[in-house]
Amino acid sequence: MDKDLKILVDEIALAMEKSFLSLFQNQETYYYCALVTTGEAVAPVISAWSWEALENVVKKSSKEDAELIKWSYADSPYWNFGSENFETVRNLFNERVLDYTDEIKWFEEVDFRLEAMVLAVEKIDKKGIFSLNQPRSKVYVNVEVMPPDETNTIRALRLNKRENILDWISEAAEE
């Protein structure tokens, strides 16, 4: 692995691990854990949904509203959770140049950043982080681009077993 890629993967994984370990202390049962970025692959943030948090939406609003936001990174009560853990990641991303004048270099950099994020998710997944409050097979994990596009589905299938994310595929996947 390229030295720059390894540094970025390690720092993203460290920030994610700290954030999710802190979040999971609430003992809720999570079904959605995402690392979210933009189409320009800016420094990511985490977002998560638990069944308990979704049930709170039902209590405060309606079942229909809950169904509409079930897979929404932006509507999650845990959007940008643990942002203080991502300071080094933000600095590393800011140090990297996104050359808007050279389309090929720009796409290469975006792909580099997204791959670093995916590898970081894989790294903490191997440590069992996503199975602390729930079986891993019951939680959708991904690196999501906002606004959503078809690359989210490609990454979802890389990071999860298809049979474990059938609800997400039928309800939220971009094709």
The pLDDT of residue 174 is 84
- The total of structural domains in the chain comes to 1
- Expressed as residue numbers, the domain containing 86 is 3-171
Q: Considering only 39-43, 96-100, 119-123, 164-168, which range has the smallest mean pLDDT?
A: 96-100
The mean predicted confidence, pLDDT, of the chain is: 95
The pLDDT of residue 119 is 98
86 conformational bin, left if phi > 0, alpha if psi -120 to 50, beta if neither: alpha
Distance CA 11, CA 97 (A): 18
pLDDT in tens, 6-59: 999 999 999 999 999 999 999 999 999 999 999 999 999 999 999 999 999 999
Residue 98 has pLDDT above 80, yes or no: no
Selection from 52, 34, 27 nearest residue 134 by Cα = 27
Selection from 49, 37, 70 nearest residue 151 by Cα = 37
pTM above 0.85, yes or no: yes
Distance CA 20, CA 141 (A): 12
